[in-house]
């Protein structure tokens, strides 16, 4: 199966799962007291889905990623790299967050985004 036939569905599923997964550590870091056990269950399910989607994207499309896809991904990452400045603003304003929960959760999701982004760019560039 090529990027054209399964790519758009996998791309959308990956973006939706990553977005929902990113909301989990934000939710868990904002709740007073211990994080809700439901957050851990939801997070676990989304992690399994995200890892599965990355594996499928990698196995099906690893040879389809070009240098242009990697360069475009790098450009996107440069823009996304300014988003963590919002964390500095929250810290400076004294927002009560569980920083250990938030930073670890957002850290691995950032790694995931950087890893999967060339596949998503390749799928976007090759759509009909």
44-80 confidence digits (pLDDT tens): 999 999 999 999 999 888 888 899 999 999 999 999 8
CA distances from 19 to 10, 44, 92, 94 (A): 14, 14, 25, 25
Tell the residue number behind the tokens 């036939």, with chain if given: 5
pTM beyond 0.75, yes or no: yes
The reported pLDDT for the residue numbered 128 is 27
Tell the residue number behind the tokens 């823009």, with chain if given: 79
């Amino acid at each position: 199966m090529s990027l054209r036939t399964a790519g758009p569905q996998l791309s959308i599923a990956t973006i939706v799962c990553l977005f929902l997964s990113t909301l989990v550590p934000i939710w868990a870091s904002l709740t007073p007291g211990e994080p809700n056990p439901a957050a851990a269950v939801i997070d676990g399910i989304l992690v399994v889905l995200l890892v599965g989607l990355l594996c499928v994207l990698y196995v099906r499309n690893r040879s389809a990623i070009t240098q242009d896809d990697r360069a475009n991904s790098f450009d996107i990452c440069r823009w996304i790299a300014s988003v963590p400045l919002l964390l500095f603003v929250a810290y400076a304003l004294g927002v009560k967050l569980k920083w250990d929960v938030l930073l670890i959760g957002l850290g691995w999701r950032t790694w995931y985004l950087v890893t999967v982004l060339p596949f998503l760019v390749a799928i976007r560039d090759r759509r009909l």
